[in-house]
Amino acid sequence: MQNFSLQKNKGKKIGEFNTLIPYLRKHKIALLFGSIFTIFTNVIALYSPLILKQIIDFLQEKASKEVILEQVWIFLGIAFISGVFKFAMRQTTVVVSRKIEFEFLNDYLKHLQSLPISFFNKNRTGDLMALGTNDLSSVRNVLGPGIMYTTNTLVTFCTALYFMIGISSTLTFFALLPFPLMSILTWSLIRVNHKNTALKQEQFGRINSTAQENLSGIRVIKAYVQEALEIQKFDKLSFDYLKKNMAVTIVSGGMHAGLAFLTALGFCGILWVGGKMVITGEITLGSFVAFNTYLTMLVWPMIAFGWVMNIFQQGYTSLGRINKVLHTIPDEENVTEKLDKNSPIDIEFKNVSFGYEPNETVLQNINLKLPAGTSLGIVGKIGSGKTSLVNLLSRLYEVGEGEILLNGKNIQSYTLKDVREIIGCVLQETFLFSDSIANNIRFGVPDEQMDKVLETAELSQLKENIDEFPMKFETILGERGITLSGGQKQRTAIARALIKQPKVLILDDSLSAVDTQTEDEILKGLKKVMESRTTLIVAHRISTVQNCDKIIVIEEGKISEEGTHEELLNLGGTYFEFHERQLLQEELVETE
């Protein structure tokens, strides 16, 4: 059962951007300064055409060299001050966008860590990684260049317009004629690109997932000589990505070209009308040059407007994708009890049923009592539901019907953290991190001393093996280090569970990759440890569970037999058959 739900997006269109409000609030001072610097940069820069006008008019009037030089110095001064503000503007807005990106990424990862396993079963790793890289980068563009150029555009547009009207309102009217067309063009193409961008980003997620699976599964691919086929598959995905990227580029390219054409059209009109005005003496040549400089300054905001819209639209699409994950919230915990982590734990399954999908039954009506300090062996065919049963105890999934009781109280009345802290679980699939063996063992208790690491390694029969490595327990595992054998991995995982000194110990088929003699040694070592703990051992070898206080046989999600080793043998049912078959197999191996 999934224990998370999709929170409804409260906002409408702007809704996706709501996620950014807390971050923007946090950096409001820097953003305010950024906006002030942006306004200054633009307003100051807009004085240069006025100086240019003066210089040209002075030249026409054949003014003295000193007067013209003075204007040139003012012109240079304005350029310098505007440059300084431009630097300050970039330093504030771009730095803020980087900081928000950093905080957002951390929050995104924190949120991912809080989501239940069922979420990760439904979402591919590569997709989730793409959201934290490619999509987040689109969001950052909104915060940095997006905000900066929007302010830029607005300020330049308003101020340039003010100066242009000052020169000639008629000329300004003609200059603005193409602008409505420009807006229509921009808006309509942006709508088209919204869909294209979503498709592009989804495809990037697919590529990321495939690349990640390819690299993780590189050994299998090589062993089955599937390199060519995998390359071909990847090639197809990349080509699709290229096509989707092209679709976005073609539309935004068309938008830029259209804007440039309409701008050129505007200029033609201005030259025609303005030229006439200069000839008739309505405006001076200097004013006409200044007017054209303002118009050129307006063109950039217009083009930037298209570009900024593109940034906003891509950021909006990406944020929408990220929000789907962020709005997926784990169900609220209904905590009423405190779990005593120092005393042994009683476990009871009461009419428990469970399925991964709503109408599926993987476990049916499980009733089971496990007094504190006792051990339970779980056997059954592959796929009968053994792992599902122990996963319910770790609350990796929540029960469908019925309840699991810890010390007589519903497991859901304790915090997830409390439950997981008292459980030491050795999962069926061992995952070791690219870190030293010692750190892998003390993963759950990072501050644990080395003597404890050695002690648990000895208990899980790992120490002798590791002592043979030159760096011993400091040997690095994984991509940049060595690879342990299947049995060594399992024993490392057992040590990792034991070092936590859990009150409940779960071994999920954790001895399958070790030989029977080592298994015997481990079980002997565990016997003492298990005395004060409640232990659940899932196994496919009878020898692993035969000394357990109680053994259950699971068949098709139901408990079919229950008792001690002797009781179950006397019953002459499935357990007895398992036992006979295994004895026969052992005899066959011995006579070979």
d(CA 80, CA 86): 10
Q: What is the 3-state secondary structure (H, E, C) of 156-224?
A: HHHHHHHHHHHHCHHHHHHHHCCHHHHHHHHHHHHHHHHHHHHHHHHHHHHHHHHHHHHHHCHHHHHHC
- Cβ proximity to ligand ADP: between 225 and 382 the closer is 382
Report in angstroms how near the CB of residue 328 gets to ligand ADP at its nearest. Answer: 17
- Cβ proximity to ligand ADP: between 385 and 487 the closer is 385
Contact map string, positions 469 to 498, toward ligand ADP, x by CB under 6 A = ------------------------------
Report in angstroms how near the CB of residue 542 gets to ligand ADP at its nearest. Answer: 15
d(CA 507, CA 502): 12
463 is a contact residue toward ligand ADP (CB under 6 A): no
DSSP state of 412: G
89 bridge partner residues: none
Q: Which two structure tokens, joined as six digits, stand for 42?
A: 């633009």
- Cβ proximity to ligand ADP: between 128 and 198 the closer is 128
Report in angstroms how near the CB of residue 215 gets to ligand ADP at its nearest. Answer: 23
107-126 residues near ligand ADP, rule: CB under 6 A: 121
Report in angstroms how near the CB of residue 125 gets to ligand ADP at its nearest. Answer: 15
- In sequence order, the 6+-apart residues with CB closer than 8 A to the CB of 548 are 375, 376, 377, 535, 537, 564, 565
Ramachandran sector of residue 460 (left: φ over 0; alpha: ψ -120 to 50; beta: rest): alpha
Angle at 570 between CA 569 and CA 574, to 5 degrees: 50
Q: Other C-beta atoms within 10 Å of 525: how many?
A: 17
First vs last C-alpha separation in the chain:
47
Report in angstroms how near the CB of residue 30 gets to ligand ADP at its nearest. Answer: 45
Strand 328-330 relative to strand 4-6, pairing: antiparallel
Angle formed by the axes of helices 285-326 and 48-60, to 10°? 170
Report in angstroms how near the CB of residue 380 gets to ligand ADP at its nearest. Answer: 5
Strand 363-370 relative to strand 347-354, pairing: antiparallel
21-50 residues near ligand ADP, rule: CB under 6 A: none
DSSP state of 226: -
Q: Which two structure tokens, joined as six digits, stand for 23?
A: 């971050």
Q: Which two structure tokens, joined as six digits, stand for 469?
A: 């490595």
354-413 residues near ligand ADP, rule: CB under 6 A: 356, 362, 380, 382-388
Count of residues that interact with ligand ADP, criterion CB under 6 A? 11
Report in angstroms how near the CB of residue 384 gets to ligand ADP at its nearest. Answer: 4
- Cβ proximity to ligand ADP: between 386 and 533 the closer is 386
Report in angstroms how near the CB of residue 345 gets to ligand ADP at its nearest. Answer: 22
- Cβ proximity to ligand ADP: between 81 and 513 the closer is 513
Q: Which of 244, 319, 293, 295 is nearest to 18 (CA)?
A: 319
- For residue 35, which amino acid is it? S
- Cβ proximity to ligand ADP: between 91 and 428 the closer is 428
* Cβ–Cβ < 8 Å for 387, 555: no
- Cβ proximity to ligand ADP: between 384 and 456 the closer is 384
Residue with tokens 């006579």: 591
462 bridge partner residues: none
- Cβ proximity to ligand ADP: between 121 and 449 the closer is 121
Strand runs labelled E in 407-473: 409-410, 423-426
Report in angstroms how near the CB of residue 492 gets to ligand ADP at its nearest. Answer: 21
Report in angstroms how near the CB of residue 446 gets to ligand ADP at its nearest. Answer: 29
Report in angstroms how near the CB of residue 121 gets to ligand ADP at its nearest. Answer: 5
Q: Which of 564, 575, 578, 573 is nearest to 374 (CA)?
A: 564
186-215 residues near ligand ADP, rule: CB under 6 A: none
Report in angstroms how near the CB of residue 368 gets to ligand ADP at its nearest. Answer: 15
* Cβ–Cβ < 8 Å for 108, 322: yes
d(CA 192, CA 329): 32
- Cβ proximity to ligand ADP: between 383 and 478 the closer is 383
d(CA 4, CA 19): 19
- Cβ proximity to ligand ADP: between 309 and 392 the closer is 392
- Cβ proximity to ligand ADP: between 26 and 381 the closer is 381
- Cβ proximity to ligand ADP: between 366 and 477 the closer is 366
* Cβ–Cβ < 8 Å for 301, 152: yes
Report in angstroms how near the CB of residue 388 gets to ligand ADP at its nearest. Answer: 3
- Cβ proximity to ligand ADP: between 121 and 133 the closer is 121
Q: Which residues bind ligand ADP (CB under 6 A)?
A: 121, 356, 362, 380, 382-388
